[in-house]
Amino acid sequence: MNIARKIMVLACLITAWFLPVVGFGQNKEKVTPYVNPLIGTGAVNNSLSGSTYPGATAPFGFIQLSPDTKENPEWGEPSGYDHNMNKIYGFSHTHLSGTGVADFFDIMLMPATRNLEELTLTSDYSSVFSHDNESAKAGYYQVRLDESDINVELTATTRTGMHRYTYPKGKANTLVFDINHSRDKNSWNTRISNAQVRIIDEYTIEGYRVISGWAKLRKVYFYAKLSLPVKKAILMSDDHIYENGEVANGSNVKALLSFESSDAPLVVKVALSSVSKANAAGNMKENTSWDFDAVAAKTDSEWEKELSKIMIEGTPVQKEIFYTGLYHAFIQPNTFSDSNGEYQAIDYTTRKLESGETQYSTFSLWDSYRATHPLYTILQPERSTDFVNSLLRQYDDYGYLPVWQLWGQENYCMIGNHSIPVVVDAIFKNIKNIDVEKAYEAVKNSSTRSHPNAPFDIWEKYGYMPENLQTQSVSLTLEMAYNDWCVAQLAKYLDRTADYDHFTKRSQFYRNIFNKETGFFWAKDDKGNWLEPFNPLKYGANGGYPITEGNTWQYLWYVPQDVPDFISLMGGDKAFENKLDEFFTLEVTSGEKNNNASGFIGQYAHGNEPSHHVTYLYNYTGAPHKTQYYVSKVMNELYNNTFSGYSGNEDCGQMSAWYVFSSMGFYPVNPANGIYVIGTPLLEQAVISLPGGKTFTMKAPKKSDKDIYIQSVMLNSKKYDNTYIRHQDIISGGVLEFKMGSKPSKWGSNPENRPPNS
Amino acid sequence: MNIARKIMVLACLITAWFLPVVGFGQNKEKVTPYVNPLIGTGAVNNSLSGSTYPGATAPFGFIQLSPDTKENPEWGEPSGYDHNMNKIYGFSHTHLSGTGVADFFDIMLMPATRNLEELTLTSDYSSVFSHDNESAKAGYYQVRLDESDINVELTATTRTGMHRYTYPKGKANTLVFDINHSRDKNSWNTRISNAQVRIIDEYTIEGYRVISGWAKLRKVYFYAKLSLPVKKAILMSDDHIYENGEVANGSNVKALLSFESSDAPLVVKVALSSVSKANAAGNMKENTSWDFDAVAAKTDSEWEKELSKIMIEGTPVQKEIFYTGLYHAFIQPNTFSDSNGEYQAIDYTTRKLESGETQYSTFSLWDSYRATHPLYTILQPERSTDFVNSLLRQYDDYGYLPVWQLWGQENYCMIGNHSIPVVVDAIFKNIKNIDVEKAYEAVKNSSTRSHPNAPFDIWEKYGYMPENLQTQSVSLTLEMAYNDWCVAQLAKYLDRTADYDHFTKRSQFYRNIFNKETGFFWAKDDKGNWLEPFNPLKYGANGGYPITEGNTWQYLWYVPQDVPDFISLMGGDKAFENKLDEFFTLEVTSGEKNNNASGFIGQYAHGNEPSHHVTYLYNYTGAPHKTQYYVSKVMNELYNNTFSGYSGNEDCGQMSAWYVFSSMGFYPVNPANGIYVIGTPLLEQAVISLPGGKTFTMKAPKKSDKDIYIQSVMLNSKKYDNTYIRHQDIISGGVLEFKMGSKPSKWGSNPENRPPNS
């Protein structure tokens, strides 16, 4: 019995949330019970952690209220939590899910039974805990702290976190508000410029901090309400201790609170804002209840609404992985605007949205453009409007679209500008309320106004990135050529012929770094000389090498805009297929694997994004059964329902979106052409609820789990031989029916059934 | 002929500003020609610089547009300019006048004749210059750059700077916008989190930077207009060079601009805001003219209006020192709110004022509460309303009043909380539109809510600051006791009897650290033991020693709230007078003088503020002639009209306000009791224009400069023997007439003529 199952059984005994709910005259299984937020929270052996967090959050919420197992998290625990650690330092209100870099961790609370005087002597309020005493569900987290015997329960609404602390009898009831808790202050220029904590009255605390870090500068205001009156408050500011303090300003500020023992647990609600304490107080209006269970139940029902947009048939483990994946995909982008529509713009001014608009942030675009945003276009069309307009608002202030947007700011993490495919894809998929002319201006200017890692004068002059002028040149050349293809498509749509021609030409620049002798993309200098030595197995990280977070093998496959042309460059179908075979079977046991490449099948590394589309490329060579083999292998071997359930960082939904798509039988190889390439359905059935009451149903009945091969397909009861479906096929509603078998078939092997470019 | 005179002569030849102006039927001499902004801009030998800047500013302006003679100014040149240096790095828009710490220097422009490509290769755009080619007036600065032969002229309105660059013929016309230029980035956590420069069109540039430093975090937005079109713009961002750039974001950003050669000089206008680029653009509306001379003339007339509030008779040198002093006193507090009333509050939110209100910042209160703010209550009663309300607005957000407010933020520089006397003094002097109840809440809470260097629990518990619990304990005990006296007076005024008693008791805590054996105030530990060893000549700086920026001798004299009690503590009149005599004559040639104590007469150090009232204390012992002797000595020997004209940092007006008061014959020993102690008038006449058309005239005709001793006094034609006058005597209008002589007289020596406590 794995941990997740144990939690589910426990949960069944406590609450009624696991009972089937009845809807529209039919039994509909409740799906949130399948969400296991502990999946991906740690690693085993030398693998990579998914770097997810187990705490409480609402769909696309501002707040992620979760335990931190390290005093100052860094690379090892970017989400603040590592399942392999045994101490909790406190419960902070903001976390990133699945990133490689740590940040946020704002406003940490920690209940204690030590008295206030003891608490003034330390900045370590941690307690040992056991996973046996821990449980996590969608929007709910619980742990019993071993040292204090306090039972902690957490839930969240969109902009508020809610804590319920049940103290043991006969002990001091104290609580720390730690405004200093943060990522490791020894890197990323992490520093708190100023912070405040202020006791407004015995039930109310407010404050803020201004902190630099991975996000350049974050203003975080909070407003907190307590269910029991504060008996005494000691405030701490840097080296000062203020007995019976009312306000403390400084860099490192804290409030240490004590309460009379009470039969009722202590409930604390905390609202955040990026704009002001007043706005944080305004955000608190979305959580006026003191009934913790009712708030948790409401958040559960919000998750149920979002996650039940796909109802699946499969094994319990498959459902657990699937719904937890969908949950991870729906954690971010995070709501960033306050309930009054204000938010901190990228230029540190306060902007106000029109009524009905929401600003979102946490855009891990190098990851999420691949499958996560395409998934949103199907399941979150209304939020997709806000996502795209949130990206465009950065363009207004910054002059180009986000590369990686964190707390409303640009951190230039990774390469390319993959806002472009997100914006273009949304327009082509008819996502409403996008100003297409403005969007075109944004994608074009983002492709002509040079910015870090994007020197467009060099790009235009050389027709590739010369490594001696711009590092990560191979990865950049490939990804920029793809972005340029996206710009070209929108130019064509708007009859900008000259721009279309120009960007189409740029979209073919990948050809200029293809070395026909080696059969690999590789780096040249500005004189056109190939970089020496060439070793396709050697890894690069984030600069100083032509390849980004991978090796040349993994970056060989990135021409999603024109796979047929790429195949011909590689020497035709057979050569291409042989190279793919080699890719999936070339085992190298040397240490030449970097932290970001993991989850290996040969040189294929599912643990990082450059590999994510590669299993699907066999469809372009007439060998879809090999796609089926490897997609099935990835789904079955590189995902599981334990704390090490992902083969690499979950990356803000992308690892999960890959699974959600692939398990239903298709995947967007080119995330902006509206085409999903068919792989192999893991699930026996998936019913996607669409706007207007329509449904799209995938059926793939199986006799055994060996039935991984497609024998034939029916789309809306008609024989269907194409190895892809179009977005319109899904969004119009219909039934895609797979006949599966344990042996490869000839289905889809004809040239005319290969996925087209558009 | 000194430099200032030379400039004046030169100016006379060029402009008509020096001609007398005619007002109300009588000739009234124009006073701005006496302003010599070069006074105090450098030091000679081992003395301290006044640390003033020579550039252009409007009265109490947001903008201080001035040359920087160092690439990254630090302790040596806090104003950016050191008269002893021979290079100018550029002209930046914000400067501090007379502080000990460097900060600001925002948005540096530097014209050049090097072409753009050359400029991309360096961050040093400096040019050698000569003081022979430099001139400075109120609101105007000019220099010819030796290397490029460009003539630079600067002027300013309240919220805009205006540059006029006359390029030599036949050379490239280029201009650098350097957004990176700042104080030394190796200290005070100085770092630019993010910055932007953006070319809006060929005549318009905007951008911002967010920078930490002495001010914790400053948002500085700019909007610039050019009189000639940009031909080419190269933008630089960190290590990147963007040819023909439109926008650059990063930490270190610059724009390099080129222009076609033109017969007309290039005029550049730059508006700033702490709120947004849009507000900076809004602030530009206060300077719509392209006529540089007209703008400079208008700013001159604004200075004339402010400075001519006192019309004096004296020697030309006395007038130059006096009006330059008044000018330095009126440079700050700086306008901080935008023309639309918005400003960045201390909690980094944007606040909007009511119509007619102005937010000010740059409150160097440990200096300016002594005489500068009292001077404002006479000459700037309307602005005093805004000054006090600006302080109270920090209280709203921070919970206590400012210690030292910089760019709207608290830097806790120095000790005590001398907003308290400023607020209390303003109320007692009937400054309008102050919410007295709120003001009382603010001064009381600022005296009970512990904050850095102000642990009130310790203060209340021990009745003094024990050095082992709170360093700078002697200075703090003395200054806090004074602040407590101020709170007590306001409590009394509001009939808060219990508070009055409580704060009166606290105001006597100075007694608890007076060591009768040594006759000095000295430090105890929390057990009541005197700190060993005791050396009254030893200097402390800003922590780690009981005395702040001085020695025990200099801090001996700080009981302005009750000098009679202090005298009795010291053993009576004679003992007190003997101790004063020793103070002014004890020459110590050891190296035990720190940077902040300078301008010595014995142990008296006029170069720093703790000594400023001490010459006036002889009036309390029946020996006013000794006050007259030493006040005269300070005025004559420790002020001059050269670049080393101050004996220490000018300190945001305080060194000048001392001179302005003293030269008219009186000085506020206790800055909050409305009493000015009479010294000795240096000037032969001073006429202060008061609201309502009234005037207060001081007359002191002299036969020679040896006439430093008061023989008799008439107030409004009546014999006047008190050695002080009251604020009401001044503000009601009238005539104070001194009969002077070269020998000491008995005037004012009777006990009943001594200054009272209130």
Strands B334-335 and B360-361: antiparallel
Q: Model confidence at B45, in pLDDT bands (50, 70, 90)?
A: confident
Helix-then-strand count for chain A, H and E: 19, 41
What's the pLDDT score for residue A588? 79
A350: nearest CA partner in chain B: B350
Helix H or strand E encompassing A475: helix A473-493
What's the pLDDT score for residue A6? 41
The 3-class SS string of A504-552 reads HHHHCHHHHHEECCCCEECCECCCCCECCCCCCCCEECCCCCCCCCEEH
Partner residue opposite A347 with nearest CB, options B237, B277, B410: B277
Count CB pairs under 8 A between chains A and B: 109
Reference A589, options A649, A540, A519, A537; nearest CA is: A537
Three-class SS of residue A706?
coil
Residues of A with CB under 8 A from a CB of B: 189, 191, 193-194, 196, 198, 208, 210, 212, 216-217, 219, 221, 237-238, 240, 242-250, 275-278, 347-350, 398-400, 409-410, 445, 449-452, 455, 457
Q: Spell out where A602-717 has E strands.
A: 604-605, 666-667, 675-678, 685-689, 695-699, 709-715
Partner residue opposite A398 with nearest CB, options B249, B276, B450: B249
Q: What angle do CA B535, B538, B543 make, to 5 degrees?
A: 115
- B3-12 per-position pLDDT tens digit: 433 444 344 3
- A639-651 per-position pLDDT tens digit: 999 999 999 999 9
- B370-400 per-position pLDDT tens digit: 999 999 999 999 999 999 999 999 999 999 9
Place of tokens 């050019």: B226
The separation between CA A156 and the C-alpha centre of its own chain, rounded to angstroms, equals 19
Three-class SS of residue B60?
coil
Strands B695-699 and B734-741: parallel
Give the pLDDT mean for A709-733. Answer: 98
Other CB atoms within 10 A of residue B747 CB? 22
Amino acid identity, position B414 = M
Q: What is the DSSP letter of A363?
A: B
What's the pLDDT score for residue A365? 98
DSSP string, A605-622: ETTSGGGTTGGGGGGGGT
Residue A236 tokens read as: 């701490």
Amino acid identity, position B393 = R
Return the C-alpha torsion angle B384, B422, B675, B97, nearest 10.
-70
What's the pLDDT score for residue B10? 41
Burial of A443 (0-12, 13-18, 19+ CB in 10 A): buried
Those residues with Cβ within 8 angstroms of residue B93's Cβ, 6 or more apart along the chain or in another chain: B63, B64, B65, B106, B107, B108, B161, B222, B270, B272
Q: What are the phi and psi torsion angles at A534 (to 5°)?
A: -105, 120
Give the pLDDT mean for A51-66. Answer: 98
Q: Model confidence at A627, in pLDDT bands (50, 70, 90)?
A: very high
Q: Using the beta-carbon criterion (under 8 Å), do B247 and A212 form an inter-chain contact?
A: no
A279: nearest CA partner in chain B: B349
Partner residue opposite A249 with nearest CB, options B237, B238, B451: B451
Three-class SS of residue B616?
helix
Amino acid identity, position B411 = N
Residue A583 tokens read as: 């890719």
Amino acid identity, position A681 = P
- CA atoms A339, A344, A345, A346: torsion sign: negative
- A203-216 per-position pLDDT tens digit: 999 999 999 999 99
Reference B372, options B617, B671, B691; nearest CA is: B671
DSSP string, B631-673: HHHHHHHSB-SSTT-BSS--TTTHHHHHHHHHHHTEE-SSTTT
Strands A173-178 and A310-313: unpaired
Partner residue opposite A249 with nearest CB, options B250, B350, B410: B410
Neighboring chain A residues of B212 at a CB cutoff of 8 Å: 191, 193
Q: What angle do CA A13, A15, A19 make, to 5 degrees?
A: 90
Give the pLDDT mean for B721-726. Answer: 98
Q: What is the DSSP letter of B371?
A: T
**Where are chain B's structural domains?**
3-306, 332-446
What's the pLDDT score for residue A593? 60
Reference A251, options A300, A211, A198; nearest CA is: A211
B208: nearest CA partner in chain A: A347
What mean pLDDT value characterizes chain B? Answer: 95
User: Above 90 in pLDDT, residue B597?
Assistant: no
Identify the CATH number of the domain defined by range A3-306: 2.70.98.10
- B393-438 per-position pLDDT tens digit: 999 999 999 999 999 999 999 999 999 999 999 999 999 999 999 9
Q: Model confidence at B590, in pLDDT bands (50, 70, 90)?
A: low
What's the pLDDT score for residue B591? 52
Return the C-alpha torsion angle B275, B280, B283, B289, nearest 10.
170
Those residues with Cβ within 8 angstroms of residue A515's Cβ, 6 or more apart along the chain or in another chain: A521, A522, A530, A534
Q: Model confidence at B715, in pLDDT bands (50, 70, 90)?
A: very high
- Verify cis geometry, omega within 30 degrees of 0, for the bond prior to B533: yes
Chain A: closest CA distance from residue B331 (Å): 28
Reference B656, options B37, B4, B18, B5; nearest CA is: B37
What's the pLDDT score for residue A27? 63
Q: Using the beta-carbon criterion (under 8 Å), do A399 and B246 form an inter-chain contact?
A: yes
Chain B: closest CA distance from residue A81 (Å): 28
Lowest mean pLDDT, pick from B46-50, B322-326, B594-598, B637-641: B594-598
Q: What is the DSSP letter of A418?
A: T
Those residues with Cβ within 8 angstroms of residue B114's Cβ, 6 or more apart along the chain or in another chain: B148, B172, B174
Residue A627 tokens read as: 């796609």
Are B174 and B77 contacting, i.e. CB atoms less than 8 angstroms apart? no
Percent of chain A surpassing pLDDT 70: 95
What's the pLDDT score for residue B657? 98
Are A694 and A700 contacting, i.e. CB atoms less than 8 angstroms apart? no
Chain B: closest CA distance from residue A56 (Å): 29
Amino acid identity, position B525 = D
Three-class SS of residue B555?
helix
Mutation test of the interface with chain B: which of A451, A459, A470, choosing the one with the most B Cβ atoms within 10 A? A451
Neighboring chain A residues of B399 at a CB cutoff of 8 Å: 198, 246-247, 249
Q: Using the beta-carbon criterion (under 8 Å), do A247 and B398 form an inter-chain contact?
A: yes
- CA–CA separation, A214 and B585 (whole Å): 59
User: Above 50 in pLDDT, residue B317?
Assistant: yes
Partner residue opposite B349 with nearest CB, options A198, A275, A457: A275
The 3-class SS string of B299-364 reads HHHHHHHHHCCEEEECCHHHHHHHHHHHHHHCCCCEECCCCCCEEECCCCCEEECCCCCCCEECEC
Helix H or strand E encompassing A625: helix A624-637
Partner residue opposite A247 with nearest CB, options B212, B349, B399: B399
- CA–CA separation, B50 and B605 (whole Å): 14
Q: What is the DSSP letter of A466?
A: -
Chain B: closest CA distance from residue A193 (Å): 6
- B250-293 per-position pLDDT tens digit: 999 999 999 999 999 999 999 999 999 999 999 999 999 999 99
Lowest mean pLDDT, pick from A3-7, A107-111, A645-649, B304-308: A3-7
What mean pLDDT value characterizes chain A? Answer: 95
In order of B5, B41, B305, the CA distances from B55 in angstroms are: 18, 10, 19
Those residues with Cβ within 8 angstroms of residue B548's Cβ, 6 or more apart along the chain or in another chain: B414, B415, B472, B475, B476, B540, B541, B542, B555, B610
- CA–CA separation, A233 and A202 (whole Å): 9
Chain B: closest CA distance from residue A192 (Å): 10
Are B329 and B653 contacting, i.e. CB atoms less than 8 angstroms apart? yes
Q: Model confidence at B600, in pLDDT bands (50, 70, 90)?
A: very high
Neighboring chain B residues of A394 at a CB cutoff of 8 Å: none
Q: Please give the CATH architecture assigned to the domain spanning A332-446.
A: Up-down Bundle (1.20)
User: Above 80 in pLDDT, residue B334?
Assistant: yes
Place of tokens 């014999």: B719
Amino acid identity, position A460 = E
User: Above 80 in pLDDT, residue A3?
Assistant: no
Place of tokens 């201004």: A210
Mutation test of the interface with chain A: which of B273, B412, B449, B461, choosing the one with the most A Cβ atoms within 10 A? B449
Q: What angle do CA B685, B686, B692 make, to 5 degrees?
A: 140
Reference B205, options B146, B157, B268; nearest CA is: B268
Mutation test of the interface with chain A: which of B235, B242, B349, choosing the one with the most A Cβ atoms within 10 A? B349
Three-class SS of residue B56?
strand
Give the pLDDT mean for A709-723. Answer: 98
- B662-680 per-position pLDDT tens digit: 999 999 999 999 999 999 9
- B426-481 per-position pLDDT tens digit: 999 999 999 999 999 999 999 999 999 999 999 999 999 999 999 999 999 999 99
Strand partners, A205: A199, A224
- CA–CA separation, A647 and A608 (whole Å): 8
- A359-380 per-position pLDDT tens digit: 999 999 999 999 999 999 999 9
Q: Spell out where A8-74 has E strands.
A: 21-23, 26-28, 56-57, 64-68
- B678-707 per-position pLDDT tens digit: 999 999 999 999 999 999 999 999 999 999
